């Protein structure tokens, strides 16, 4: 195989490497991982918020229960005084009756608040359970994505390593002068400074080559460029 043919293989190997590196940098798993990370952080925050609100509501429910018990205790004290015969004055009895009614109303009111508070506790417990389940699901998904993503990354790295080794083998088969010329042209032609001659046409620009150029191509040691695009022609 001539040097130009080897150089063309080198070009194709490096194009493959460019594509593999691009695919590695732009793996969808990276964007998906960022999205899941944000969602996991949000779900963790939701768990924290639910835990905080639940703790507050439980404290409030406890205070309301204590207020209700206090009103109930006072009500029993009043009832005892009303019926144990210790108070005989009509005015005092009337005042005690009113106080007893007021305490009963207060107790009923506290009971209603306690019930509402317990309902709120139950709702927050359900919200916390949902938030924890959601956070657990996000954590599971992110671990699964890490596993599959690492497998894909390793696969691409192995493929890159293989093509790098092939490139290095090809590099050893081409003269320094040809490599330097190839490197100089590579950026200009987006990694494709060499073009095969298919029939009488340059595969790089799809323009027919001249008879004079074809004659030069007969010399296996000549480096011939396309008259139209300037790529190195490989017969």
How far apart are the C-alpha atoms of 42 and 142, rounded to whole Å? 14
Instruction: Judge whether 71 and 103 are in contact, CB under 8 Å.
Output: yes
Contacts by 39-43, CB closer than 8 A, 24 or more apart: 39/138, 40/135, 40/138, 40/139, 40/142, 43/131, 43/134, 43/135, 43/138
The radius of gyration computed from the CA coordinates of the chain, to the nearest angstrom, equals 43
Q: Which pLDDT band holds residue 163 (cuts at 50, 70, 90)?
A: very high
What's the token pair of residue 213?
């150029």
Looking only at the bridges linking them, the beta strands covering 232-234 and 201-202 are unpaired
Sequence-ordered list of residues with C-beta below 8 angstroms from that of 37, at least 6 positions apart, any chain:
142
pLDDT tens digit sequence for 9-19: 999 999 999 99
Please tell me whether residue 111 adopts helix, strand or coil conformation. helix
Residue 226 banded pLDDT, cuts 50, 70, 90: very high
Complete edge-to-edge strand list for the sheet that includes strand 201-202: 201-202, 194-198, 232-234
**What value does the mean pLDDT take over residues 124-128?**
94
List domains and CATH numbers for the chain: 3-174 (1.10.287.1490), 188-234 (no CATH)
Quick: pLDDT tens for 194-217. 999 998 999 999 999 998 998 888
């Amino acid at each position: 195989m001539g040097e130009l043919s080897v150089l063309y293989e080198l070009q194709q190997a490096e194009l493959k490497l460019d594509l593999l590196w691009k695919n590695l940098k732009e793996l969808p798993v990276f964007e998906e991982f960022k999205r899941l990370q944000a969602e996991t952080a949000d779900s963790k925050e939701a768990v924290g918020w639910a835990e905080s609100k639940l703790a507050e509501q439980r404290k409030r429910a406890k205070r309301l229960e204590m207020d209700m018990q206090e009103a109930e205790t006072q009500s029993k004290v009043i009832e005892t005084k009303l019926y144990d015969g210790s108070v005989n004055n009509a005015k005092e009895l009337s005042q005690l009756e009113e106080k007893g009614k007021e305490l009963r109303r207060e107790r009923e009111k506290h009971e209603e608040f306690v019930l509402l508070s317990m309902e709120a506790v139950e709702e927050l417990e359900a919200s916390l359970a949902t938030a924890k389940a959601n956070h657990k699901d996000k954590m599971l998904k992110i671990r699964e994505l890490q596993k599959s993503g690492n497998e894909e990354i390793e696969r691409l790295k192995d493929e890159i390593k293989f093509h790098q080794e092939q490139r290095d083998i090809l590099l050893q088969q081409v003269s320094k002068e040809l490599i330097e010329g190839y490197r100089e042209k590579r950026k200009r032609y987006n990694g494709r400074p060499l073009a095969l001659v298919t029939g009488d046409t340059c595969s790089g620009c799809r323009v027919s080559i001249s008879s004079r150029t074809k004659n030069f191509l007969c010399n296996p040691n000549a480096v011939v460029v396309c008259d139209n695009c300037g790529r190195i022609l490989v017969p």
